[in-house]
Amino acid sequence: MYKPTNTTISNDSYAILNAIRNSIGGEFRANTPLVQNADDVKAYGLYVTGGGDARNSFMSTLINRIAKVLCLVRSYENPLKRYKKGILGPGETVENVWVGLVTPEGWTQSPANPGDVYRVNNPDSQVTFHPVNSKLVYEITTNDTELSLAFTSEQGVYDLVAKIVQRLTDSSEWDEYIMMKYVIARALLANPSAVKNVATLNAANSDSIISDMKAVSNNMRFMATDYNVAEVPTHSPIDRQIFFLTASASAVIDVASLAKAYNLSYVDFIGQQQMVNSFAFTEAEQERLNAIMEETVAQGLIPNYTPFTEQEVATLQSIIGATIDEDFFMIFDKLYQVNAVFDAKHLNTNNFLHNWKIYSYNPFANSVFFKATNG
């Protein structure tokens, strides 16, 4: 958990309120004081809670400031988010193109057989499209009592920020993590040849399993068709490989030994190493995944959703690690927008976070998974 140093909760609250004041500007800024002490906080609060427009502006900008600047108060962050490909511009589809290798031909020196230099040799190309396939909205209601309490003390402002952040962004971040795990799982299950068997991991055989993983990593550096769903010839240089381990495997395998085996410095290896709780889904994750996918089907963003079979669940549970090319993930943000609407009848403020994404994978990128067996 984030613990502020060399500052106080009061100063954090002042910074939040002043940042919102500057962001809104105009009449709001003219009618609120620059917050420098507890009396300023109360005066600021009187204006915010006194009118619908001021309240709406404050709540909407509060969430925006959290999303863009004050992210350190988040209690959860998707550990896989660094593999996302960024924000999608105009349009709702990403085109993913792979161009094949060129077949060699025999050369002749004879001028009597020069060949047709104007012959068309079209490239062997394959294309896959990744449309926006997730449009979710998160809603939480705050009321005037909560809002007014935020201004009775300096601590109250900070508490209000934390409450809204935890309710909106934590939900979005966890769902993003679950969906990225789902993308990995579907690629794994779609390419059984990329699943490599290793012994059931324990402290005694961890070095042997590290050697098995290193052998696969070495092979991925060379052109091959074995490790991607599209079965096209491609390769993954060592600095483009991401090394995944489950939480339980990471507790047994020494990371320093793993880095040494891959001939990488510890610092470089840590930058390419990623831990997940499991490649399978906990009961809570599965319940949330089902809800997300059922909503997505209802919206017509995907044609159908089939939950994992018992055999697929068993396969996912047995995966202890993976080596995945960094170009594997096709995860884009299309929309991240927050709004606040005041309900004058019930004195509530409904806060919304709209989050639209592309969740997909690159079928031309390598991914290899290590399955623990009893054999």
Q: Do the domain assignments include residue 47? A: yes
Q: Do 146 and 187 sit in the same domain of this protein?
A: no
- Token pair of 267, please? 């610092």
Q: Do 286 and 158 sit in the same domain of this protein?
A: no
Instruction: Map residue 8 onto helix, strand or coil.
Output: coil
Q: Do 274 and 142 sit in the same domain of this protein?
A: no
Residue with tokens 């927008």: 337
Q: Do 149 and 213 sit in the same domain of this protein?
A: no
Over the stretch 83-109, which tens digit does the pLDDT of each residue have? Answer: 999 988 888 899 888 888 888 877 777
Alpha-carbon distance of 145 to 160, in angstroms, equals: 11
Alpha helix positions (H), the chain: 9-24, 26-31, 38-48, 52-68, 144-149, 154-190, 206-220, 247-252, 255-261, 266-272, 283-298, 310-318
Alpha-carbon distance of 3 to 158, in angstroms, equals: 13
Alpha helix positions (H), 191-220: 206-220
Q: Do the domain assignments include residue 111? A: no
- What is the rounded average pLDDT for all residues in the chain? 86
Q: Do 21 and 35 sit in the same domain of this protein?
A: yes
Alpha-carbon distance of 194 to 323, in angstroms, equals: 10
Among 114, 145, 168, residue at a domain's last position: 168
Task: Look at residue 177 in the predicted model and tell me its pLDDT.
Answer: 97
Q: Do 158 and 16 sit in the same domain of this protein?
A: yes
Q: Is 350 left (phi over 0), alpha (psi -120 to 50) or beta?
A: beta
Confidence band, pLDDT 50/70/90 cuts, at residue 11 = low
Q: Do 196 and 161 sit in the same domain of this protein?
A: no
Q: Do 148 and 244 sit in the same domain of this protein?
A: no
Confidence band, pLDDT 50/70/90 cuts, at residue 7 = very low
- CA 27 to chain CA centroid, Å, is 38
Task: Look at residue 68 in the predicted model and tell me its pLDDT.
Answer: 66
Q: Do 161 and 293 sit in the same domain of this protein?
A: no
Task: Look at residue 5 in the predicted model and tell me its pLDDT.
Answer: 37
Q: Do the domain assignments include residue 234? A: yes
Number of compact structural domains in the chain: 2
Q: Do the domain assignments include residue 92? A: no
Q: Do the domain assignments include residue 104? A: no
Q: Do the domain assignments include residue 95? A: no
Domain that residue 272 falls in: 171-373
Alpha-carbon distance of 158 to 14, in angstroms, equals: 9
Over the stretch 276-323, which tens digit does the pLDDT of each residue have? Answer: 999 999 999 999 999 999 999 999 999 999 999 999 999 999 999 999
* Beta strand ranges found along 54-105 (DSSP E): 93-99
Over the stretch 214-270, which tens digit does the pLDDT of each residue have? Answer: 999 999 999 999 899 999 999 999 999 999 999 999 999 887 778 887 878 878 888
Q: Do the domain assignments include residue 276? A: yes
Over the stretch 170-189, which tens digit does the pLDDT of each residue have? Answer: 899 999 999 999 999 999 99
pLDDT over 80 (residue 54): yes
Q: Do the domain assignments include residue 363? A: yes
Alpha-carbon distance of 50 to 60, in angstroms, equals: 16
Q: Do 142 and 47 sit in the same domain of this protein?
A: yes
pTM assigned to the model: 0.83
Q: Do 151 and 252 sit in the same domain of this protein?
A: no
Q: Do 175 and 164 sit in the same domain of this protein?
A: no
Between residues 169 and 300, the one the model is more confident about: 300
- Token pair of 339, please? 């709004």
Alpha-carbon distance of 263 to 218, in angstroms, equals: 11
Between residues 52 and 166, the one the model is more confident about: 166
